[in-house]
Amino acid sequence: MTDALPHKLRSDARDNRDRILDAARAVFSADGLDVPMREIARRAGVGPATLYRRFPTKQLLVAEAFADQLTACRTIVDEGCADPDPWRGLCLVIEKICELHARDRGFTEAFLSTLPGAPGVAGRAYTVKAVAALARRAKDAGHLRPDFVLDDLLLILMANKGIHAASTATQVMASRRFAGLAIQALEACPHHAPLPPAARLAPGAPAGG
């Protein structure tokens, strides 16, 4: 009995942690990062004391909730920077990061957040620094327009965040097309490749119109 009790407590603690993280991701995705901690506890079905015992600050909760997405973001940036063709690498970064954000609106909120200690601060700093070096190489190679500035990258992500669709699949489809348009706008000497297929965002609009 004494052996079973600690095991049950550990299991309950894991269950509580998982419920808190699931609730946090859902709430942050729907309502942004300003949602009170007490509301997250209510959605998770735990008391505020349990929530604060696991996550003493909102910063810690946000960082843990989006740890996998931050790792994926860094992997994308590293993949792009490793490409010997800097323009191709920059295009890859824009395409894949836009898609990552389209799949998880909560992560977009976290990434663009100015909340002190939120993952957006550290994650964005790493991304901006790495993309800055990649952009310089792409400019030197004559592929990236010379007036590109790093704020343009955040502008692209902010615009991508505004894509709303009835399903995740449609949202990703629209994000891919938007990324294609953004890339063409950034190219110094455009040789326009075909855009990804258009997503039907306007009900009743004629196809291809």
What's the pLDDT score for residue 199?
A: 76
Distance (Å, whole) CA 54 – CA 16: 9
Helix residue ranges, H only, the chain? 4-31, 37-44, 48-54, 58-65, 67-82, 86-103, 105-112, 119-140, 150-161, 168-186
Query: Domain map of the chain by residue range?
Result: 10-64, 67-186
> Which has the closest alpha carbon to 33: 12, 63, 56, 5?
63
The pLDDT of residue 202 is 59
pLDDT of amino acid 204:
53
Phi, psi dihedral angles at 136 (to 5 degrees): -60, -40
pLDDT for residue 85 = 98
Q: How far apart are the first and last CA of the chain?
A: 70
Q: pLDDT 10s per residue in the chain (209 long)?
A: 555 545 554 777 788 999 999 999 888 877 778 899 999 999 999 999 999 999 999 888 988 888 888 889 889 999 999 999 999 999 999 999 999 989 887 788 777 775 555 555 556 677 778 988 999 999 999 999 999 988 888 889 889 988 988 888 999 999 999 999 999 999 998 776 776 787 776 555 455 44
Contact status, residue 38 vs residue 114, Cβ threshold 8 Å: no
Cα 117 from Cα 124, distance rounded (Å): 12
pTM over 0.75: yes
Nearest to 72 by CA among 93, 87, 44, 45: 93
Coil vs helix vs strand at 191: coil
CATH superfamily of 67-186: Tetracycline Repressor, domain 2 (1.10.357.10)
Q: In whole angstroms, what is the distance from residue 190 CA to residue 91 CA?
A: 13
Fold annotation for 10-64: Arc Repressor Mutant, subunit A (1.10.10)
Predicted pLDDT at 68: 86
Q: What is the pLDDT of residue 23?
A: 94
